[in-house]
Structure 1
Amino acid sequence: MSASDIVSCVAFDGHRRIAAGTLAEVALATKQAVDAGVDGPVLVFDDFNGRPVELDLRGTPGDVLARLPAPTPNDESAPRGPGRPKLGVIAREVTLLPRHWDWLAGQPGGASATLRRLVEEARRSHRERDSVRLAGEAVDRFMSAMAGNLPGYEEASRAFWRNERERFIHVTDAWPADVREHVRALAARAWQAPHAD
């Protein structure tokens, strides 16, 4: 499975939706729209995190697909080759108190192995809470980029974060249809995300 099959995203020409789907589908539809002379600005968003996706639309459709962003190294859905997996170790500085270093030094496998175990345990135990947070951040990023200048943006943002669904629907009613429907779909996904106790 390639990155183009993994990422779900959406492309907009101003406030009009061009396409939604996998990264490959959206990239090709966006290239076709740009080649046809859309007004712009053309923006593409990752539905998972609401971040913009940069696409290089020069050349042929094959060229565009060949330049799609690769999955990030910590993407667990990224394909792995045979043999021992590359750990993708990145050396960074960690600041701890002396008692923390003393405790880590006494753990089996040493400080790095213990820190990796602790991080993986935290990722597993906080998965639901993290999914709720990430879904909310996706709504916030998309809404800020696409509706930040629309009437009622601040009120819609407050209603979203307060889980005031009816108010959110009411405030977004006047927004352009494609933006309104997409932000409502993202909000519904965030509100339906499993909440950790």
Structure 2
Amino acid sequence: MTDTPIDHFTAFEGARLLADGSLADVALAVRRALDARPEAGILVFEDARGTVRDLDLRGDETALRERYAPPARSRGRPALGVVAREVTLLPRQWDWLATQPGGVSAALRRLVDQARATHRDADTLRARREAAYRVMSAAGGDLPGFEEAARALFAGDDAAFRDRLKGWPADLRRYVERLAGGTP
């Protein structure tokens, strides 16, 4: 099972696939569609989480490309994505962490990485199901078989899930199945 790229987006006009790709490419396609059909109902999804993404479509195409270009990489720890946050632990846990090689932060990073490796498949499957469900709810919540498909999705019954989606518009069905880990 492959992970969904975190920088991939998909836009639907109703249940019809409008565009997919980078956020800049999708934003341009949405802008062009709305210029041609201002009343169009368009939803943009972040594929990795299945969340709806609001777009600021002001300005010309150059402004859109600049606004939604991937962030530039910088040198040092910020490039690694290091984020300082508060962690609350019991004194005995702090004592144990203080004895670990590399200090508290290094020990916590190792523990998180070990847990991620141990639970990778289950975490990926859960994230895929949740992303598919978010899209189903936003774009297909009123379609026939929605509730049954959702139940089958979370029960892990792939055959029943695909069967419940058979009556859905083809583009939306394929997208939901792909997010859930089914068809590519």
Q: TM-score range by the shorter chain?
A: 0.7 to 0.9
TM-score of the two chains, using structure 2 as the length reference: 0.82
One-letter amino acid of the structure 2 residue matched with residue 167 of structure 1: A
Given that residues 55 and 68 in structure 1 are in contact (C-alpha distance below 8 angstroms), is that contact kept between their aligned partners in structure 2? no
Give the secondary structure class of the aligned counterpart of 1:99: helix
Partner of 1:24: 24
TM-score of the two chains, using structure 1 as the length reference: 0.77
Partner of 1:123: 116
Give the secondary structure class of the aligned counterpart of 2:51: coil
Given that residues 14 and 39 in structure 1 are in contact (C-alpha distance below 8 angstroms), is that contact kept between their aligned partners in structure 2? no
1:90 paired with 2:83, answer yes
Q: Which runs of 5+ in 1 are unaligned?
A: 72-78, 193-197
Given that residues 140 and 157 in structure 1 are in contact (C-alpha distance below 8 angstroms), is that contact kept between their aligned partners in structure 2? yes
Partner of 1:65: 65
Alpha-carbon distance between aligned partners in 1 of 2:17 and 2:182, rounded to the nearest angstrom: 23
Partner of 1:75: none
Q: Which runs of 5+ in 2 are unaligned?
A: none
Give the secondary structure class of the aligned counterpart of 1:7: coil
Alpha-carbon distance between aligned partners in 2 of 1:141 and 1:15, rounded to the nearest angstrom: 15
Partner of 2:49: 49
Task: Figure out how many residues of one structure are paired with residues of the other and give that number.
Answer: 179
1:140 paired with 2:133, answer yes
Cα displacement (A) at 1:35: 0.8
2:168 alignment partner, one of 175, 180, 184: 175
Q: Deviations over 1:105-152 (max 9, x none)?
A: 222332222212222332333333322222222111111111112222
Alpha-carbon distance between aligned partners in 1 of 2:148 and 2:116, rounded to the nearest angstrom: 33
Alpha-carbon distance between aligned partners in 1 of 2:182 and 2:173, rounded to the nearest angstrom: 16
Change (3 A) 1:65 1:80: closer
Give percent identity, aligned residues only. 49
One-letter amino acid of the structure 2 residue matched with residue 154 of structure 1: E
